[in-house]
Amino acid sequence: MTAVRRTWSQLGGQLGLGCIGVGIVLIGLGWNGAAGVDFTQGQIPYLLSGGALGLGLIITGATLIIVQNGRRDRVLLEGQLRELNQAVGRLANALGSGVLAAGNGHATAGTAGEPHVVLGASSYHRPDCRLAEGKDLPVAPVAVAEAEGLTPCRICRPDVLETVAPAGR
């Protein structure tokens, strides 16, 4: 299904280039036909049919390319906006729970007896997880991570952290 969408998304640009190419060929054929006739009344039909149709195809092709580029730019902007909304939501959750992420991945504020986990893009991790190591990711209580819809990491198993080691850093 993704391959079909990708093909359709590229079709506008390819079709636009094809229209421009056919338009240039029609203009060339019209001028060549007009060059073979030595009187003006015989040249006008060639110039009008080849020139007008060719120019129309060139304008149509350019319009298709411009629309295709606009669609591609819109998809990129929507993806960036989605990421920004997620980041703002995480920041609001972190501020709401009294937890801020420090550069070293430790919690700087929060409730003392509650375990804290590192929030990833789609899952949450233990602070010592190798997938979260060296990344500047926010730290929050497990309840906040689950409220955001994040799943526990399958490697470090932070859901076990909640029951085994309730004291966070």
Determine how many CB atoms are found less than 10 A away from the CB of residue 85: 10
Compute the chain's Rg from CA coordinates: 30
- What is the torsional sign of CA 122, 126, 132, 134? positive
Q: Which of 48-52, 74-78, 103-107 has the highest mean pLDDT?
A: 74-78
Ordered DSSP codes for 140-156: EEHHHHHHTTPEEPTTT
pLDDT band at 74; cut points 50, 70, 90:
very high
Average pLDDT over residues 101-120: 58
* pLDDT of the residue at 112: 52
What is the residue type of 153? Answer: C
State the burial class of residue 39 (Cβ atoms within 10 Å of its Cβ: 0-12, 13-18, 19+): exposed
**Chain centroid offset of residue 45 CA:** 49
| Domain ranges, ordered by start, for the chain | 2-85, 97-169
Mean pLDDT over each residue of the chain, to the nearest integer: 80
pLDDT band at 1; cut points 50, 70, 90:
low
pLDDT band at 21; cut points 50, 70, 90:
very high
State the burial class of residue 62 (Cβ atoms within 10 Å of its Cβ: 0-12, 13-18, 19+): middle
* pLDDT of the residue at 17: 93
